[in-house]
């Protein structure tokens, strides 16, 4: 998803307003080539977080009760991922990787080399050759907000701009972001021995 955001080419303006018992963050992004504007909404209350993207094809993501719920309105389906499910999936993937390595080891050297070269670089865990930089580029006033401007470069080419404004009400949403960060850290630990 990070790569998707970075390559989507967006300038963003963070606006906030107090919702009943929570915080709403509105993120406006614009694709630089065609200028199309998409508005995303993040709703936070306590340790709950909901993310609605402005694109109808994208699912709604809800973090609540130490789990992620992904709602796909188009297909009328949902999935739920908690720490226990992530650990089970991580164990399955680790087992598959061990089996695959065992199979590769049994191949003749030439075939093993060919298979390894075909698989090389396909795993995100091995890192990406994409060079992404975000550089400060001054400040601008957008509406009534004084914003810091940043330019996003990918492989030396400007792909986006990011505008950030101080969000005083965001303090109320930090509990949700910290809870999701703790959960995400646990999920990533479940996949530490896999190619993911």
Task: Please answer whether residues 37 and 163 qualify as being in contact, where contact means their C-beta atoms are separated by less than 8 angstroms.
Answer: no
Domain count, the chain: 1
Report the chain's mean pLDDT, rounded to a whole number: 75
Does residue 125 lie in a domain region?
no
State mean pLDDT over 5-26: 45
Does residue 6 lie in a domain region?
yes
**pLDDT of 96 above 80:** yes
**pLDDT of 170 above 70:** no
Report percent pLDDT > 70 for the chain.
Answer: 76
Does residue 126 lie in a domain region?
no
Q: Looking at residue 32, what is its pLDDT?
A: 64
Range of the domain at 89: 2-119+131-190
pLDDT, tens only, 97-143? 888 888 888 888 888 888 777 766 554 444 455 788 899 999 988 77
Give the residue with greater pLDDT, 150 vs 31: 150
Q: Give 115-132 as a DSSP string.
A: HHHHHTT--GGG--S--E
Does residue 195 lie in a domain region?
no
- Helices within the chain (DSSP H only): 2-7, 83-106, 109-119, 174-190
- d(C-alpha 14, C-alpha 147), whole Å: 9
Question: Which candidate, 68, 28, 18, places its Cα nearest to that of 171?
Answer: 18
């Amino acid at each position: 998803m990070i790569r998707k955001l970075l390559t989507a080419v967006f300038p963003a303006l963070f606006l906030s307003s107090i919702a009943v018992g929570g915080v709403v963050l509105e993120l406006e992004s614009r694709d630089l080539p065609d200028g199309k504007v998409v508005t995303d909404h993040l709703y936070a209350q306590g340790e709950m977080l909901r993310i609605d993207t402005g694109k109808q094809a994208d699912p709604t993501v809800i973090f609540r009760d130490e789990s992620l719920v992904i709602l796909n309105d188009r297909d009328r389906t949902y999935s739920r991922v908690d720490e226990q499910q992530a650990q089970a999936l991580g164990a399955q993937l680790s087992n598959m990787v061990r089996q695959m390595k065992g199979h590769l080891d049994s191949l003749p050297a030439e075939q093993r080399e060919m298979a390894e070269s075909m698989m090389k670089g396909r795993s995100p865990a091995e890192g990406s050759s994409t060079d992404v930089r975000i550089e400060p580029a001054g400040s601008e006033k957008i509406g009534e907000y004084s914003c810091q401007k940043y330019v996003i470069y990918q492989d030396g080419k400007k792909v986006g701009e990011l505008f950030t404004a101080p969000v005083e009400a965001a303090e109320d949403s930090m509990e949700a972001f910290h809870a999701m960060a703790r959960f995400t850290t646990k999920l990533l630990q479940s996949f530490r021995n896999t190619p993911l």
